[in-house]
Amino acid sequence: MDQKVAANGDMDLSPYRVFTEKEWARLRADTPMTLTAAEVAELQGLNDPMSMEQVEKIYLPLSRLLAYYAEATVSLHQATQNFLGLWDHKTPFIIGVAGSVSVGKSTTSRVLRALLGRWPASPKVDLITTDGFLYPNAVLEAEGIMHKKGFPESFDRPRLLKFLSDIKAGKRHVRAPVYSHFYYDVMPGHTVTVDNPDILIVEGLNVLQTRELPKDGRAVPFVSDFFDFSVYIDADEELLVNWYVERFMRLRETAFRDPSSYFHKYSRISDEEALQTAHQIWNDINLVNLRENILPTRPRADLILTKDASHRIAKVALRKI
């Protein structure tokens, strides 16, 4: 048992083991690199660079760790079903990826999906984002919470829980709604089908969110109850706001110029006005959501990946078992 004594004489009761990039990279062992430089370049998001070196030093060791977790979880499920005398479905291994707006959740999720899908057993790996489970803009406007889009109350939580419950129960052809960042809304009639994957990655702002427990002790499921492993992508607030503003300004020169874009109006204002707008959106919405709802869930993650100013993962914290 680890019982480090801090300088003040108190035991270090942190539930995490913390690794530098160099220390974590050693844990890759002989895990092969299965992605090319071109593939890594395609997986990275706007204003979220990902180098081959980072894939090798951070994500390959993580892929190796997840392989162990997935194998152990399958054995546990088999043992439970043997005990119950059941063998009726395959139970997918579900990974949750959480973190702030602009921290790089999507890039991390795509890289993990690509690596996990190339394990020797060739598992089927799917990826969904919880954005599709946002209430449509019309509902948010009617409820007067359009300014809280992305906050926990803006999501159709019962629908998301039903989706995850069906996935975990091994149901076939489970549909999830689709969200468009271009139109800034859920797309009516559009769905993506998840069909009995071996691994499912669920990416979203609030996937580790809890809520107040009922006094009568009734069962209240959380999204994270369906996760077998969870990752939180972390960065200082100063970095997050810079990355958000940089992305906003880059989008002004690209997607926002399309008249069909929800944000087209921002392509017609001056650079100074755009900067002020980006900072205002961050301060009034994203920063509030981060401080009130997202950051408090960080200690619930199994793994915390902390980024530095260059978007590199500089520190890895793994929950002790």
DSSP character at residue 4: P
CATH number for the domain whose boundaries are 16-319: 3.40.50.300
288 carries a ligand binding annotation: no
pLDDT score, position 7: 45
Separation of alpha carbons 129 and 42, rounded Å: 18
101 carries a ligand binding annotation: yes
pLDDT score, position 9: 45
Residue-by-residue pLDDT tens, the chain, 321 positions: 444 444 444 556 789 999 999 999 999 999 999 999 999 999 998 888 999 999 999 999 999 999 999 999 989 988 988 899 887 777 899 999 999 999 999 999 999 999 999 999 889 999 999 999 999 999 999 999 999 999 999 999 999 999 999 999 989 999 999 999 999 999 999 999 999 999 999 999 999 998 777 788 887 889 999 999 999 999 999 999 999 999 999 999 999 999 999 999 999 999 999 999 999 999 999 999 999 999 999 999 999 999 999 999 999 999 997
103 carries a ligand binding annotation: yes
pLDDT score, position 11: 54
One-letter identity of residue 42: E
Q: Which of 99, 100, 226, 108 is nearest to 157 (CA)?
A: 226
φ and ψ of 229, to 5 deg: -160, 145
pLDDT score, position 5: 42
> H or E element: which one contains 93?
strand 93-99
Percent helix, strand and coil across the chain, each rounded to 5?
Answer: 45, 20, 35
pLDDT score, position 89: 75
Alpha helices by DSSP H, listed for 101-236, are: 105-116, 137-142, 157-168
φ and ψ of 37, to 5 deg: -60, -40
pLDDT score, position 321: 79
104 carries a ligand binding annotation: yes
14 carries a ligand binding annotation: no
The model's pTM is 0.93
Structural tokens at position 162: 């039903």
Structural tokens at position 246: 């940089």
Q: Looking at the DSSP assignment, which residues form a beta bridge with residue 97?
A: 203, 231
Domain ranges of the chain: 16-319
Token match 């958000």: residue? Answer: 244
pLDDT score, position 12: 64
Residue 296 Cα distances to 135, 156, 210, 291, angstroms:
23, 21, 10, 7
Collect all residues with Cβ–Cβ distance below 8 Å to 313 and sequence separation of at least 6.
21, 54, 57, 58, 305, 306, 307
Structural tokens at position 13: 């009761």
Range list of β-strands (E), 226-312: 229-234, 303-307
